[in-house]
Amino acid sequence: MELNEYFQSYENYFWEWTTDEDVPDPSGYHEYNLISIPNVGAIAYRPYVIEVLKELQPYGFPPFGSLLLVLYASQDGYLNLDGISYYLKNIEKNSRLRNTDQVIELLENINRLPRIYKTGQNKINLLQTLFKSSHNQTSSGSADLILKRFAKRPYKIAECAQKIAYRSMLFAVDDIGNLINISEKFPTTESIIQAMKAIMEVPDLEDEVLEEETTVETQKDFIQELIDEPKTFQVGSLIKRIWSGLKIPMRHLSPGEQPIGGISDMSNKGDFNRMLLSEFANEDEVFMNRVANNEALYIQREIPPEENVFERIILIDTSLKNWGIPKVLAFASAIAVIKHPKAHSECKVMTLGQASLEISLNKVDHIVNHLNLVSPALEVSQALEKFFEKDHKEKDFEVFFITHHENLENQKLQKVIHENRDRLKFLVTTSADGELNFYKHHKGTRKHIQKIILPLKELWANPPQGKRGRQNNPSSGGKKAAVPLNYPILFPTPVNKIATFLYEGEFFVLSNKKQLLRTYLSDNYYNREHYNNHKIQHGSEVLIEDISVKPKGQFALARNKQQEFILCQYQPDQKLISTLNLNTKEYAELNLTGKNIPDGHRLIYFGKYFYLFHEESEMIPYITIEGNISLKYVLNDKLIYKSHGKVESEVKKLYNSGIKILNNFSKIGININEELVISKHAMTTYGDNLYSFAKNFSDIKVKANQNKNVFSFEDGSEIITDSRGMLTFKSSNKNIPVFYMPSTEYAYLALATETDFGGSEYYLPKDNKLKIKEMDEMYTQYMEAFIKHVLEYGI
């Protein structure tokens, strides 16, 4: 098998090659360095996949698609198996394959494996166990040839990344059929575990704290908002100074198979280029005998370390001694950890007083309110003890405790900290003179990591004079220019979504940016001819922003009697179900521990209630939309099953509806071809009223000056950017009205004013009074006129 054949990608298939420009590749070829599932999520970076293949080479390669699905299922964290199911159903429809549900069941079983079986060398053992003697294997010799050709010519991946149309689904039969056969061999999670234990000993993996290098200052708009607000100025002005010296690791790496010297570096299997030089000192007959009998010694190959996904819990002491400056330091330290540029783990913050209280530090108003929290308690040993007794005993939690240094002299608090030192990872102490001390508990002992002394007088020397609102003239102020909730045209629907819903005939999207969007399908999307010849999806309008929700578990959406949106979330792993009123922000949750809800129950909405539904259950749990959250049971009904099936069928029409949004606005200008340039892309015409952004290869003729999200030209014309995917054009020529254009990559564009519209109907609102024009006419009348006025300034 050739390299191109093994790594080839196909149109409308479940995986594709993409590029992450921020991650360099050891091979020196940085394009197409990431494999992802469209509209679902990333699978793995290319260097990791290559290293995995090197470990599988002696046994031959499994079909590439099979390997990718298993790698995706063995990830920690949230998995979108519904998205996988959508692709499998399409494959089943277009091929002779059947029972693709078995593949989803296999992936779920793999995901449910204890983490120890999916980390480091054990992950390789897992892959070898599953794919050993599986169908459609590439031979060991062919596998070795593929790896050698990739090592010499990694740029060949670019050819594989160009998707080709397929005449038959034989490659899909190899990928999916292989997993169907594996699912028959391993029908349960336990059967996989037993198979692994039968051929190898599964060692315990010890958590390891890895020190990271000192971080550098990073610009964060949220931090600037804290500095600009007088009530949070003291907190905000400390954060970047804390970042500059903070040595707490922002992520942990599971070690994988990393040799540490001596005999542990050696193996009796490997390639000749990995053989110890001492072996070649043997006589020819002895040397060949040692090789033939697997007695020759080789240097083991390292597997790149994997990120250990965990959740941080920060406990802030609000007792009397931690009041004033120590409390300001405590909140600044907590925000510095949460908002650190390298921090990607989830983080929960709780205050400890007479009891524990979970708080949010995601908005300026939240921080203003929480800075006023004070407990009459002299010390918080009782609240800290209750926290460790009742909650958060899982292994993947990392607990911080921030308190005043004098509180550590209290014997009760000392006792609680000592008894829970295995779960209390970091201890941070504050003082009134600006001194922060960081301690780490590791293997039962406390180690002092670092001391940070903050020059409070210097940092607090220039407080803001008053709270500044959003500026009407964005060019004159230091704040970002105001952007509306919506525009005369629709936003591009983002590729990354947490969930999609159908409620009373309308489609809704919960985006990764924590927004509730409403999107549309064409009115006649049931017309088969229209469906085959035109895109049926439309863009989105924003209904609600800044939704406080974790992107994990299952979701359902409904409206109450007041027509307020209610978002229900079910987290099976946490045994937790919750409701959030998106309009009033009212939140309620219910712990389901002891309710004996079997696996496989799915959260759905039907007939004014949320259900934990399973078609084979006689009684199913439900909760009401109105009032307090409580769990009740009702007889299962076939109507619920039929309704759920119809909803799922309709929602699947939204798959592949997302468009890649340009939101990293590093520069804006006009090139020598008189084309608008946004970052690395130029607005180009493809004839017949078609315009889109493509890679810019021409020099910039005029460049705009940036002030936050406003780019200004010398003539006074401005372009206001909106990271949600929209550009607003304000010309200094009063004869050119304000107009709008979506910022999307490699997708057809549209232009609109408050009265006119032209371009892709994807951006046309469902109910509008816009006058429809040709895109060429709109471009000439507005965009071209805007560009010419900028270029003619000063001539």
State the DSSP string of 602-635.
EEEEETTEEEEE-TT-SEEEEEESSSS---EEEE
430 and 523 share a domain? no
Stated length of the chain = 795
> Quick check: 516 and 508 in contact, CB under 8 A?
yes
The residues near 354 (Cβ < 8 Å, ≥ 6 apart) are 375, 376, 377, 382, 383
- Compute how many other C-beta atoms are within 10 angstroms of the C-beta atom of residue 359: 18
> Quick check: 207 and 201 in contact, CB under 8 A?
no
The answer as to whether 204 is a domain residue is no
723 and 701 share a domain? yes
Final residue of a structural domain among 436, 459, 482:
459
Q: Would you call 780 exposed, middle or buried from its count of C-beta atoms within 10 A (0-12, 13-18, 19+)? A: exposed
246 and 270 share a domain? no
> Quick check: 404 and 322 in contact, CB under 8 A?
yes
What's the average pLDDT block by block, 10 residues per block, for the chain (795 residues)?
81 85 72 84 84 84 88 76 80 73 85 80 84 74 85 86 77 78 84 74 39 37 82 86 74 51 65 83 89 83 55 84 85 86 75 82 82 78 84 66 88 88 86 88 82 85 57 50 93 90 92 91 55 65 91 92 93 90 88 84 92 89 85 88 88 80 89 93 88 91 92 94 95 94 90 95 89 94 95 74
Residue 385 belongs to domain with CATH number: 3.40.50
User: How far apart, in whole angstroms, are the C-alpha atoms of residue 748 and residue 317?
Assistant: 54
User: How far apart, in whole angstroms, are the C-alpha atoms of residue 498 and residue 503?
Assistant: 16
Alpha helical stretches, state H, 371-509: 381-390, 411-419, 456-459
The residues near 619 (Cβ < 8 Å, ≥ 6 apart) are 633, 634, 635, 636
Count of domains observed in the chain: 5
The answer as to whether 539 is a domain residue is yes
The DSSP secondary-structure symbol of 320 reads: G
> Domain residues for 292?
259-301
714 and 607 share a domain? no
The residues near 307 (Cβ < 8 Å, ≥ 6 apart) are 251, 252, 253, 254, 344
The answer as to whether 209 is a domain residue is no
Write down the residue that tokens 């919960």 correspond to.
510
506 and 362 share a domain? no
46 and 185 share a domain? yes
According to DSSP, the β-strands at 311-317 and 346-352 are parallel
> Quick check: 248 and 337 in contact, CB under 8 A?
yes
The answer as to whether 215 is a domain residue is no
The answer as to whether 574 is a domain residue is yes
Helix (H) or strand (E) holding 366: helix 364-370
According to DSSP, the β-strands at 397-404 and 424-430 are parallel
265 and 117 share a domain? no
The DSSP secondary-structure symbol of 681 reads: E
Write down the residue that tokens 């000993």 correspond to.
201
The answer as to whether 104 is a domain residue is yes
Residues forming beta bridges with residue 682, ordered by sequence position: 677, 694
Q: What is the dihedral of CA 693, 697, 701, 705, to 10 degrees?
A: 60
Final residue of a structural domain among 654, 689, 704:
654
Tokens read off for 458: 């210097």
Q: Within its chain, how far is the Cα of 39 from the centroid?
A: 12
The DSSP secondary-structure symbol of 515 reads: -
User: How far apart, in whole angstroms, are the C-alpha atoms of residue 225 and residue 654?
Assistant: 36
Write down the residue that tokens 């079986």 correspond to.
117
> Quick check: 790 and 717 in contact, CB under 8 A?
yes
> Quick check: 182 and 106 in contact, CB under 8 A?
yes
354 and 280 share a domain? no
Write down the residue that tokens 């994997």 correspond to.
306
360 and 235 share a domain? yes
173 and 55 share a domain? yes
User: How far apart, in whole angstroms, are the C-alpha atoms of residue 549 and residue 514?
Assistant: 7
Final residue of a structural domain among 398, 432, 459:
459
> Quick check: 693 and 661 in contact, CB under 8 A?
no
The residues near 594 (Cβ < 8 Å, ≥ 6 apart) are none
> Quick check: 132 and 195 in contact, CB under 8 A?
no
Write down the residue that tokens 């520069």 correspond to.
667
pLDDT of 260: 47
Tokens read off for 607: 């007939």
The answer as to whether 482 is a domain residue is no
User: How far apart, in whole angstroms, are the C-alpha atoms of residue 429 and residue 402?
Assistant: 6
Smallest CA-to-CA distance from 9 within 68, 50, 56 is with 68
> Quick check: 230 and 261 in contact, CB under 8 A?
no
pLDDT of 781: 95
What φ, ψ does residue 380 adopt, rounded to 5°? -115, 30
Q: Would you call 607 exposed, middle or buried from its count of C-beta atoms within 10 A (0-12, 13-18, 19+)? A: exposed
Tokens read off for 258: 């990393």
509 and 441 share a domain? no
448 and 514 share a domain? no
The residues near 51 (Cβ < 8 Å, ≥ 6 apart) are 301, 302, 303, 304
The answer as to whether 193 is a domain residue is yes
